[in-house]
Amino acid sequence: MDNLKYLNDIQLVFIIDENERPDFPIQILQKMPNLTKLTIHHCSWLEVFQTQIPEIVEKRVLTHLKSLRLNGVSKLQSIGSEDSPWLNLLCDSEKLQHLEVVNCPDLKTLVHFTPSPSVSFKHVKEMYIANCQDMKYLFTLQAVNNLENLEYIEVNNCESMEAIVLKVEDDKEIQLQRLKHIDLNHLSSLKCFYSGDATLQLPSLIQVDIWMCPKMEFFSRGRIQLNSSFRGIEALNVSRDELVFYLDLNSSVKKVFLQQVILNQLIMTLV
């Protein structure tokens, strides 16, 4: 057990009898002070996430965590609600830089929808969301403006996803100052990145990837401010050596959409 202090990566799998009540293993994690990566697999009990914050703080558990992965977590509908106090604490940690959420069938949105979100993901640099089939959007404007250090976001195979950022009343301006790369893959219901008309500030954006998003006709209804660093869109219907850029980001997305329509029509005629 003494050697656990050298461990930096752990995967917790919660496969237990229906009649048992699972607990978050604080006593074990206490013996792993240098953990930087944590994965939670196959967990269908909200009780695991309801360990109270004082226990986590007082026992200094997961204080160096840099990477968090949720895989196969069911019943959890969002992060930031009262259902997940310790998870909320980790997601606000100044150490956490990498977040991955995959195969979570009951997740409706990444951040619990409140006027003032209790979770900010303020220090996260990379975010991967995949195979969350009930998720319709990731953030509201209030939540997305907390992502001060986000550099890369990938959303893959979420069939109900209609927008990455949802329009709400009194939207003013979205600022993602460090975001460099957006990767959107196999999102059959996605219509846009942002569904409102507030200004989007994306000064560091270099590239957007759009793959198999057949309903995405525009990026945002509002004004989009880019710098000269933006190179264009990588899409299914163009060579990997080429990037689509036509006038502005919205026009470029529209061009990718129309090219995809033509490509699909051509495929249909050949079948």
pLDDT digits (tens, 9 = 90+) for 249-265: 999 999 988 887 777 77
Name 171's Cβ contacts closer than 8 Å, sequence gap at least 6. 141, 196, 197, 198
Q: Locate 215 and state its tokens.
A: 């309903």
Give the Cα separation of 145 and 131 in Å (integer): 25
pLDDT digits (tens, 9 = 90+) for 98-153: 999 999 999 999 988 776 677 889 999 999 999 999 999 998 888 888 899 999 99
Give the Cα separation of 180 and 205 in Å (integer): 4
Per-residue confidence band for 240, with pLDDT thresholds at 50, 70 and 90: low
Question: What does the DSSP 8-state code read for residue 79?
Answer: B
Q: Which range scores top for mean pLDDT: 18-27, 127-136, 231-240?
A: 127-136
59: phi then psi, degrees, rounded to nearest 5: -95, 5
Cβ-contact 211, 184 below 8 angstroms: yes
Per-residue confidence band for 161, with pLDDT thresholds at 50, 70 and 90: very high
Q: What percent of the chain has pLDDT over 70?
A: 92
Domain borders along the chain are 2-270
pLDDT > 60? residue 86: yes
1-10 mean pLDDT:
85
Per-residue confidence band for 97, with pLDDT thresholds at 50, 70 and 90: very high
Q: Does domain 2-270 have CATH number 3.80.10?
A: yes
Q: Locate 116 and state its tokens.
A: 């003032």
Cβ-contact 189, 216 below 8 angstroms: no
Whole-number average pLDDT of the chain = 87
Cβ-contact 165, 139 below 8 angstroms: yes
Give the Cα separation of 232 and 242 in Å (integer): 9
pTM: 0.90
Name 217's Cβ contacts closer than 8 Å, sequence gap at least 6. 191, 192, 253, 254, 257
Between 58 and 234, the more confident residue is: 234
Q: Which of 19, 22, 52, 58 is nearest to 40 (CA)?
A: 22
Q: Locate 10 and state its tokens.
A: 């752990």
